[in-house]
Structure 1
Amino acid sequence: MSTQLPAPAAPAEHGGESIARERRDRRIAGLPRPVEPGLTRWQRFRNGPLGWLTLAFLPFCAFLLWLTYRMYEVTITTAVGDYTEQQTGTRSTPTIAQFNEALWKCTRLAFVTLAIGLVLYFLIDRLRPTTLRLKAVALAWGGAVAVFASSMINTWASTMVTADETDELGSVRAAIFIAPFVEEAAKATILFLLAILVRHRLLSVIQMVTMAGLSAVGFAVVEDIVYYVRMYLYGSLAYGVDADGALRQIFYLRGLLTCWGHPLFTTFTAIGVGVALRNRSKVVRVVAPLAGYCFAVCAHMGFNGSQSVGVSTGLLIAVGAFLIVFLLLRYIRLVLAESRQMRARLQDFVSNGWLGVHDPIMFSRYRARLKLICAAALRGPRCLVATVRLIHDMSELAQVRLGVVNGLTGAAAVGRERELLLSIRALRGRALDNTDGLTVKPPTWTWHNLTAWVRAHLPRRRPRTPFYAPPPPSQVPIGAPRR
């Protein structure tokens, strides 16, 4: 049984040509760039283009959110003024202060939907979790880029299908036949961009579903804010209407009962993209994303159409619950299949002596990984960071080997496997890698040690210097001789 790591690729006659060839092979195979030894994390971030793209992308999303705010501020205030003039005969246009007050009040309600979506997708993406940077990019794309692009295209397209201002069915036609195509394409574009730029980070269908779900959650939250503000201002400026009651009603309907709509539709496209990434057939790589996108558009179209024709909310919730339960069962099946594949691929390294005998079991089970993370969190930040990195490297190592077995990557995978094995070997002493006999609570956490620690870190009172009052002046009789 050999204990030496895989040998790196044989160098070419010129070192520069060898490095360039290796980078090209890795880029074609969807693997990260070779790790240059001796560089710090900041130097690797500075040399990589993806970090700078992320730094430029987030301010761009903030700028698009500002443009969206300005656009809807004009649109909503104009619509509210037209509505009040039609209902009461007197035009009442909300001021900027009223609009901002309503926006802040409605944003706090939309944060409830955002929190639900973030918790859900963080729990889903646990077997091979994506990085926080990718999650932030997907959420920002859906909340800024997808919303801005969809609003511009939908506004232009709705004018094309509307005959004149008296055509009441123009908005209905746009919501059914235009909005699903535009919105699903805008939300899912981030999946294709990530598949091109960081294909080595998206290792499974579950990760694609997570990215799509976060993009859809960001889109849904911003869209809900627009609906909330419009409804609240309508009720505030119309006589005899309870604005707070109307806001609570639309929040209960959109923010809670039907908040699954956008994430569910985009999930179908994500499944198609995820299947295409892990398949060798060129036909499947083209047909699977298109099929997923078409299914998402049809589901979105049916949802909007059912609301337009007056289908009860209970029926929509029942259909959505059925689809969600079906996807949850499919998710459980995918998790079990990926766990078996990870265990089998890590076992290949055990047979060569590069990994321990217990590693395939420890790092392919969800409960074992969760126990390692919880125990590491109670043993200090250094142990936690090392354990999380070890789990991540094990997951990527199994995925690289799976790509070799399936014929998706060739000789370029050998160098990446060597880098991951070296990183795993360096993390062994600091990270937790075995749950046998491991307790989540550290053995040093006893009541005696806890009280001693508290006493050592409590602020001690400094002893006060005794203060004595000055002696009273001596009572000398007046006229007495002084000594």
Structure 2
Amino acid sequence: MQLPAPAPSERRDDSVARERRARRIAGLPRPVEPGLTGWRRFRRSPLNWLTVAFFPLCALLLWLTYRVYAVTITTSVGDYTEQQTGTRSAPTPAQFNEALWKCTRMALVTLAIGLVFYLLIDRLRPTTLRLKAVALAWGGAVAVYASAVINTWASMRVTADETDELGSVRAAIFIAPFTEEAAKATVLFLLAILVRHRFLSAIQMVTMAGLSAVGFAVVEDIVYYIRMYLYGSLVYGVDADESLRQIFYLRGLLTCWGHPLFTTFTAIGVGVAMRNRSKLVRVTAPLAGYCFAVCAHMGFNGTQSIGVSTMMLLAVGAFLIIFLLLRYFRLVLAESRQVRARLQDFVSNGWLGEHDPIVFSRYRRRLKLICAAALRGPRCLLATVRLIHDMSELAQVRMGVVNGLVDGAAVERERELLLRIRSLRGRALDDTDGLTIKPPNWTLQSIRGWVGAHLPRRRPRTPVFAPPPPSQIPVGAPRR
């Protein structure tokens, strides 16, 4: 007996399910369903709901971290004052909160430096602001809380008793690097699993790792600042503000590169694993990067524990940073050449213009497009940014096909990107030849007219006349 043929709707649903599964296995985004509103697309995305639940969790962990360190720092300051003066003097909650607010403002300088640096290097294929916020919140809340709990538990295991002065040193060298690097780098593995299609190069992984490390370093610096400030405030003869400035200069400025540098090694290993076909490399590359990060962290903590000079530490750090920057520039040039070569494949088939591989593979030309679009209105700017992103993703998808990382599921994704690129052509800027950053219709006269038309005009004021002079007729005299 022959079974009846499935209905067209069932065949369509089955093909959509197979396509979704193929894309999920290949690490590509889900197919776009036509006719859905923005709110329905938001509701159908599990990642959006994970993001919504993630930030309140970070706020809760920050509150728990505050409670833990409020008790820990208050106890340590009380023990320190009793040891120095013979009288136990612990800070009140009001004093602790005042120190917290003052130290947080100083730690924001380190946060600003890290944000500017990683926003500048993440330019070839920028990650979204949501992913940057997730990485920063993970390092500042989840990684800090997990490290605090694990370090405290492990430190109690390696400390003989309360009089063991080397217990904290052993914990800082042999325990903290393993837990802190694992806590900071966990977000890389989660993002690589959940949104693998968003990470197309090692530079993006380095950005995520750096932001996670910056968030961790800022919260850790606040803890050190508060402890040092309260030590100086409650001990007679110590200038608390001067002690705070010294530790800020040391931790917040001179050695602020420590945590981002260590986590960068793990990020490089994860980035190499994501762009390689070998299963052995996919396993060993992240593990090697993590081990290198732990060793570097152990060396950093060990030099501070044994009293190595700060200049020696800065020299080693400067050497590593310069080496990574040179490697970064080489990687950017290599990715630019690869993007141009993969876009050329679509030019050969007639799907892109001849100038597209040159325009969208060079950083200066893309920057010129964005600057020129910014002066032509928000619609032109948004369309230009989307066009640049779609071109970059199109090249990276084809690069995955060439390298054998993506199978036939990339065909539909390439088709979607080509259709979106075609729809953006009329609204976005797509060529730099003959393009001026300043629009041609911007003249001095037109600018003055636009400013005069958009400035708020003052309403004409009603003239106020002086009262009439008093008459010379005596009061009460009859009028004529």
TM-score range, shorter chain: over 0.9
- For 1:463 and 1:333, locate their aligned partners in 2 and report how far apart those are by CA, in whole Å: 64
Aligned counterpart in structure 1 of residue 61 of structure 2, from 47, 60, 64:
64
CA shift at 1:285, angstroms? 0.3
Matches within 5 A, 1:318-467: 318-466=315-463
- For 1:308 and 1:463, locate their aligned partners in 2 and report how far apart those are by CA, in whole Å: 73
Instruction: Look up the match of 2:3.
Output: none
- For 2:344 and 2:225, locate their aligned partners in 1 and report how far apart those are by CA, in whole Å: 54
- For 1:382 and 1:403, locate their aligned partners in 2 and report how far apart those are by CA, in whole Å: 32
Q: Which amino acid aligns with 1:278?
A: R
1:307–1:478 distance in 2 versus 1, CA, 3 Å: closer
The answer as to 2:197 corresponding to 1:178 is no
- For 2:439 and 2:477, locate their aligned partners in 1 and report how far apart those are by CA, in whole Å: 83
CA shift at 1:25, angstroms? 0.3
The answer as to 2:229 corresponding to 1:229 is no
Instruction: Look up the match of 2:257.
Output: 260
CA shift at 1:381, angstroms? 1.1
Q: Which amino acid aligns with 1:16?
A: D
Cα deviation code 1:156-208 (max 9, x no counterpart): 00000011111111111110011000000000000000000000001000000
CA shift at 1:481, angstroms? 8.7
- For 2:370 and 2:397, locate their aligned partners in 1 and report how far apart those are by CA, in whole Å: 23
- For 1:52 and 1:336, locate their aligned partners in 2 and report how far apart those are by CA, in whole Å: 37
Aligned counterpart in structure 1 of residue 34 of structure 2, from 34, 37, 57:
37
Q: Is the 8 A contact 1:345 1:401 kept in 2?
A: yes
1:479–1:80 distance in 2 versus 1, CA, 3 Å: closer
Q: Which amino acid aligns with 1:314?
A: M
What RMSD in Å do the two structures reach over aligned CA positions?
Answer: 1.7
CA shift at 1:474, angstroms? 9.4
CA shift at 1:380, angstroms? 1.2
CA shift at 1:463, angstroms? 3.5
- For 2:155 and 2:66, locate their aligned partners in 1 and report how far apart those are by CA, in whole Å: 20
- For 1:479 and 1:22, locate their aligned partners in 2 and report how far apart those are by CA, in whole Å: 105
CA shift at 1:377, angstroms? 1.1
SS of residue matched to 1:424: helix
Cα deviation code 1:298-346 (max 9, x no counterpart): 0001111111111111111000000001000100110000000000001
Cα deviation code 1:437-458 (max 9, x no counterpart): 1111112221111111122223
Instruction: Look up the match of 1:84.
Output: 81
The runs of 5 or more residues in structure 2 that have no matched partner are: 1-7
1:188–1:249 distance in 2 versus 1, CA, 3 Å: same
TM-score, structure 2 as length reference: 0.95
- For 1:71 and 1:445, locate their aligned partners in 2 and report how far apart those are by CA, in whole Å: 59
The answer as to 2:124 corresponding to 1:127 is yes
Q: Is the 8 A contact 1:117 1:214 kept in 2?
A: yes
Q: Which amino acid aligns with 1:292?
A: G
- For 1:154 and 1:467, locate their aligned partners in 2 and report how far apart those are by CA, in whole Å: 76
- For 1:292 and 1:471, locate their aligned partners in 2 and report how far apart those are by CA, in whole Å: 93
Q: Percent identity?
A: 83
- For 1:480 and 1:89, locate their aligned partners in 2 and report how far apart those are by CA, in whole Å: 98
Q: Which amino acid aligns with 1:419?
A: E
Instruction: Look up the match of 2:237.
Output: 240
SS of residue matched to 1:200: helix
- For 2:93 and 2:243, locate their aligned partners in 1 and report how far apart those are by CA, in whole Å: 21
- For 1:292 and 1:481, locate their aligned partners in 2 and report how far apart those are by CA, in whole Å: 107
The answer as to 2:198 corresponding to 1:201 is yes
Bigger relative contact order (CA 8 A; separation at least 6): 1
Aligned counterpart in structure 1 of residue 298 of structure 2, from 298, 301, 313:
301
The answer as to 2:158 corresponding to 1:161 is yes
- For 2:234 and 2:281, locate their aligned partners in 1 and report how far apart those are by CA, in whole Å: 55
The answer as to 2:99 corresponding to 1:110 is no
Q: Which amino acid aligns with 1:415?
A: E
SS of residue matched to 2:198: coil
